[in-house]
């Protein structure tokens, strides 16, 4: 690996300030170029590593096995879809039955209210209640 820090040499340390600043800017440019080259080298190594990895995967995997796994997963998804459809149909039937029961209960309640009005149970209840309260006192 390249060393990014400068190594002091006697020739640089013996130069004047002006020549040293021009050398520092030149050094920074070299350092930038070195880091750029290092970045490119790392990128190339990464691509090479991925290529090797993919080659190994292709070499040791069986295409027919992958195909069979894909078919199996597709069939499983189809089975799950059929089961879901059947469950939804059963839920719809149960909901329809509940709605029918609700209608029957509402009809019965309405009938009971009509019967209560016809019998005028409020007066009978009030009379009975008043009698019971007077007897208890």
| 65-120 residue pLDDT tens | 778 888 888 888 888 888 999 999 999 999 999 999 999 999 999 998 888 787 77
Residue 20 · residue 12 · CB < 8 Å: yes
Flag whether pLDDT at 137 surpasses 80.
no
Place of tokens 């149970």: 121
Rounded to whole angstroms, the Cα distance separating 100 from 25 reads 89
Rounded to whole angstroms, the Cα distance separating 20 from 97 reads 94
Read off the pTM: 0.37
| 12-67 residue pLDDT tens | 444 444 444 555 566 666 666 677 788 888 888 888 888 888 788 777 777 777 78
Phi, psi values for residue 6, rounded to 5°: -75, 150
Q: In this structure, what token pair is assigned to residue 80?
A: 């799950």
């Amino acid at each position: 690996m390249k060393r990014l820090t400068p190594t002091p040499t006697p020739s640089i340390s013996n130069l004047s300030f002006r020549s040293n600043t021009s050398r520092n800017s030149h050094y920074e440019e070299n350092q930038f170029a070195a880091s750029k080259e290092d970045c490119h080298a790392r990128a190339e190594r990464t691509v090479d590593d991925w290529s090797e990895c993919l080659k190994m995967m292709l070499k040791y995997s069986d295409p027919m096995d992958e195909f069979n796994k894909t078919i199996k997963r597709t069939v499983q998804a189809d089975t799950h879809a059929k089961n879901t459809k059947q469950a939804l149909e059963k839920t719809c039937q149960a909901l329809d039955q509940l709605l029918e029961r609700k209608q029957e209960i509402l009809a019965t309640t309405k009938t009971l209210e009509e019967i209560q009005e016809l019998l005028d149970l409020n007066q009978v209840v009030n009379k009975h209640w008043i009698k019971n309260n007077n007897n208890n006192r």
